[in-house]
Amino acid sequence: MKPEKINALITGGASGLGEATVRRIIDLGGTVTISDFQEERCLSLSDELGKNCVYSMTDVTNEESINKALLKSISNFGPINLVVNCAGIGVTNKVLSKEELHSTKIFEKVINVNLNGSFNVSKLAFSKMKDNLLDENECRGVIINTASIAAFDGQIGQAAYSASKGGVVALTLPLAREFARYNIRICTIAPGLFETPMMAGLPEKAYQSLVESTVFPKRLGKPEEYAQLVISIFKNNMLNGEVIRLDGSLRMAPK
């Protein structure tokens, strides 16, 4: 599949890993619909990137909202052949902290956004992609979800986040097997520690501690490296049903 023929919808596309992916696709000559809830940032980014980029305000927990974004992409640029799901939230709560138990409502919210949101986007994207014409490699489209190495190396305080990302990992193979009938591929990227807005707010001491925990390269990942992997998955027809760790061999400690 040729990158210049990409017509993508990127959830969480207004910042971080999603924004880097949007920029990479536009640089390669493709078209993108930014699907996010940060309206000011969406407007600024789409204006900067020009006619090959539009945005749609989206709540990944709401099927009507997702469907609206997909239809806007199709209306503007034609059939969608790539969906990248970067939308997600993170919280750090111990099950017992200062004599208070972990809020089940917070746990449910993280599951709803990270896991249910990934499922919602995947199934609705699939419902549109299955009607695409086959490309030169007999593929109709590619869906890429975003998990985390916390799915495998969850730390103390990450019960909700790790559970949600573990669910995204577990979704990958059954969806790939089902979507294969329609010549649609699905993979998941599990990033390690990356330079994202979430990391930017850390105190310097905490940030340096994270850098010290890395192996090689001795730094946090760059969002552009995530975007590069997205393009590699899109181009390689044999990548299907796979969860790829993108972490520089980092294995997180218990805390």
Residue 137 has pLDDT above 80, yes or no: yes
Q: What are 8-42's pLDDT values in tens digits?
A: 999 999 999 999 999 999 999 999 999 999 999 99
State how far the alpha carbon of 169 is from the alpha carbons of 60, 105, 120, 148, 153, in Å.
18, 23, 15, 9, 13
Residue 199 has pLDDT above 80, yes or no: no
Q: Which two tokens stand for residue 12?
A: 């969480």
CA 149 to chain centre: 13
- The C-alpha atoms of residue 177 and residue 45 are separated, in whole angstroms, by 36
Provide the percentage of residues in the chain whose pLDDT is more than 90. Answer: 84
Confidence of residue 206 (pLDDT cuts 50, 70, 90): confident
- Looking from the CA of 163 toward its CB, the CA atoms found within 13 Å total 18
Averaged over 169-174, what is the pLDDT?
98
Residue 187 has pLDDT above 80, yes or no: yes
Decide if 35 contacts 235 (C-beta within 8 A): no
Question: How high is the pLDDT of residue 26?
Answer: 98
For the chain, domain boundaries? 3-245
Question: One of 55, 161, 182, 226 is an active-site residue; which one?
Answer: 161
Q: Which two tokens stand for residue 203?
A: 């105190």
Question: How high is the pLDDT of residue 126?
Answer: 98
Decide if 179 contacts 186 (C-beta within 8 A): yes
Confidence of residue 172 (pLDDT cuts 50, 70, 90): very high
Residue 146, class by beta-carbon neighbours within 10 Å (0-12 exposed, 13-18 middle, 19+ buried)? buried
SS3 of the chain: CCHHHCEEEEECCCCHHHHHHHHHHHHCCCEEEEEECCHHHHHHHHHHHCCCEEEEECCCCCHHHHHHHHHHHHHHHCCCCEEEECCCCCCCECCEECCEECCHHHHHHHHHHHHHHHHHHHHHHHHHHCCCCCCCCCCCEEEEEECCHHHCCCCCCEHHHHHHHHHHHHHHHHHHHHHHHHCEEEEEEEECCECCHHHHCCCHHHHHHHHHHCCCCCCCECHHHHHHHHHHHHHCCCCCCCEEEECCCCCCCCC
Mean of the per-residue pLDDT values of the chain: 94
161 classed as catalytic? yes
CATH numeric code, 3-245? 3.40.50.720
Confidence of residue 68 (pLDDT cuts 50, 70, 90): very high
Averaged over 143-159, what is the pLDDT?
95
State how far the alpha carbon of 146 is from the alpha carbons of 28, 90, 117, 203, 219, in Å.
22, 13, 11, 26, 21
Question: How high is the pLDDT of residue 20?
Answer: 98
Question: How high is the pLDDT of residue 97?
Answer: 83
Model pTM? 0.95
Q: What are 74-101's pLDDT values in tens digits?
A: 999 999 999 999 999 988 888 888 878 9
Residue 133 has pLDDT above 90, yes or no: yes
Question: How high is the pLDDT of residue 5?
Answer: 93
- Looking from the CA of 72 toward its CB, the CA atoms found within 13 Å total 19
Question: How high is the pLDDT of residue 146?
Answer: 98
Residue 236 has pLDDT above 90, yes or no: yes
Q: How many other CB atoms are there within 10 angstroms of residue 85's CB atom?
A: 29
Question: How high is the pLDDT of residue 39?
Answer: 92
Residue 61 has pLDDT above 80, yes or no: yes
